[in-house]
């Protein structure tokens, strides 16, 4: 029952409350991003959602304009495309807050597997049939486990290859574990664990 109806209702209520409560912070971060470097406040990027349907993911811009065409599709802590403000908002995960709009729109859920770029999904099409049977989310057990992913990625020379061959298979296992145990209680635990991890 929760998986079919309650999860969406919870997402709508929680994202609305979150956007209202965080609106002062969102305005401050938006101004900080805008004044600190050239470019738009928000960064939008196509990600693959439920049933392999693509959608526009929203983030506060944390990298230089055109960064997505200047390097790999994954980032590391030593990535020179990241702006000074970007380093702070990425480390604190504040750059992800605009995804509350994705949740409100219905593209995403508060809790669920993190949405990926199409090229990464294409590397594991069969495995992603199960992963994308649910909406992607802002957080889940894989997001908590790999909260320091950028530091992990900094040790690899070919970052995209390492992400595909080493990191993503581990994430997929954690996504499966989440999907097999979806419940309101589990979602609440993951949200609390996320706040604690931050």
Joined tokens for residue 89? 């908002």
How many domains would you assign to the chain?
1
Residues 161 and 76: their CA atoms lie apart, in Å, by: 13
pLDDT digits (tens, 9 = 90+) for 104-139: 999 999 999 999 999 999 999 999 999 999 999 999
Res 133: pLDDT? 97
Positions of the chain with pLDDT under 70: 198
In this prediction, residue 74 carries a pLDDT of: 84
> Distance between CA 11 and CA 43 in Å, rounded?
22
Q: What is the pLDDT of residue 87?
A: 92
Non-local CB neighbours of 37 within 8 Å, separated by 6+ positions: 61, 64, 83, 84, 85
* DSSP string of the chain, one letter each residue: -IIIIIHHHHHHHHHHHHHHHHHHHHHHHHHHHHHHSSS-SEEEEEEE-GGG-EEEEEEE--B-TTGGGSS-SS--TT-TTB-HHHHHHHHTTGGGTTHHHHHHHTS-EEESPPPB-HHHHHTTHHHHHHHTTS--EEE-HHHHHTTTHHHHHTT-SSHHHHIIIIIHHHHHHHHHHHHHT--HHHHHHHHHHHHHH-
User: Tell me, what's the pLDDT at 46?
Assistant: 97
Rounded to two decimals, the pTM is 0.91
Q: Which domain holds residue 58?
A: 2-197
């Amino acid at each position: 029952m929760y998986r079919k109806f309650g999860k969406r209702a919870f997402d709508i209520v929680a994202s609305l409350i979150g956007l209202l409560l965080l609106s002062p912070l969102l305005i401050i971060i938006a101004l900080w991003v805008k004044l600190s470097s050239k470019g738009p406040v928000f960064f939008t990027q196509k990600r693959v959602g439920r049933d392999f349907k693509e959608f526009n993911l929203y983030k506060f811009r944390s990298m230089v304009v055109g960064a997505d065409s200047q390097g790999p599709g994954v980032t590391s802590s030593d990535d020179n495309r990241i702006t000074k403000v970007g380093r702070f908002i990425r480390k604190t995960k504040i750059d992800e807050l605009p995804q509350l709009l994705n949740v409100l729109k219905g593209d995403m859920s508060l809790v669920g597997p993190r949405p990926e770029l199409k090229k990464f999904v294409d590397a594991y099409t069969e495995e992603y049939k199960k992963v994308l049977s649910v909406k992607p989310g802002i957080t889940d057990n894989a997001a908590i486990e790999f909260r320091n992913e950028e530091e992990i990625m900094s040790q690899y020379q070919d970052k995209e290859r390492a992400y595909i061959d080493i990191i993503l298979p581990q994430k997929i296992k954690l996504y499966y574990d989440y999907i097999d145990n979806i419940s309101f209680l589990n979602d609440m635990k993951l949200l609390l664990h996320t706040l604690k991890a931050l």
